[in-house]
Structure 1
Amino acid sequence: MELITFESQTFKELVNKIDKIAAYISKCENPTSTEAKDIWLDSNELADLLKISTRTLQRLRKDNLISYSILRGKCLYRLSDVEESLRERLIPSDPKTLEAFRKRYMLHTKQF
């Protein structure tokens, strides 16, 4: 058996990284957590995430196809509301689509 030694600080950093990975996995396994429902996106973030222009997003707002809130002149969108709008309007396909959307967002914003 091979013995590997670490400095105390290096070991603590490794444990912290493992804890972050475990927390991320538990969040992914529980998509109905309140944290995911409280994620707010601005127009640029949502347009980038959906791969559409901000003008298209403006049209979706105008046609009441997507819900939003205005705070200090800035449009904000709740992630759970966007997911619900997508769920209502998407043609049924692979059920993993919304989960993949959520994972891409979390990876894109490095929230784990």
Structure 2
Amino acid sequence: MNVIMMESAAFQELVGHIEKIAEHIRRYEDRLTVQPQERWLNSKEVTALLGISLRTLQRYRDEGRIPFSLMGRTCRYRLTDVERIMKECSMSGNAERIGELHRQYMVRTGKKT
């Protein structure tokens, strides 16, 4: 067996480096276990979920309302981003709100209530 002798300061520095490496490994492992695989959708699936046309989806991309990634020549969207858009575009359905929307529609179209 070989015995290696070193100064205490050098040994402490070596231990510090090993602890930093161990911390990086722990953080990397946490990222792997915490983040599940993200589901990606194509444009056709997104338009069906949102009930919009391809042109409207393109406008959302142009305006930065929905993030996307280009994979080859195909746009892909994260399901979480599509769900966020769905929440942003939804409104409450209480009777007062629906009545007010109906009244405004009748005024704009010139129809009698």
Structure number with higher relative contact order (C-alpha < 8 Å, ≥ 6 residues apart): 1
TM-score normalised per structure 1: 0.45
TM-score normalised per structure 2: 0.45
Q: Could you say which structure has the larger radius of gyration? A: 2
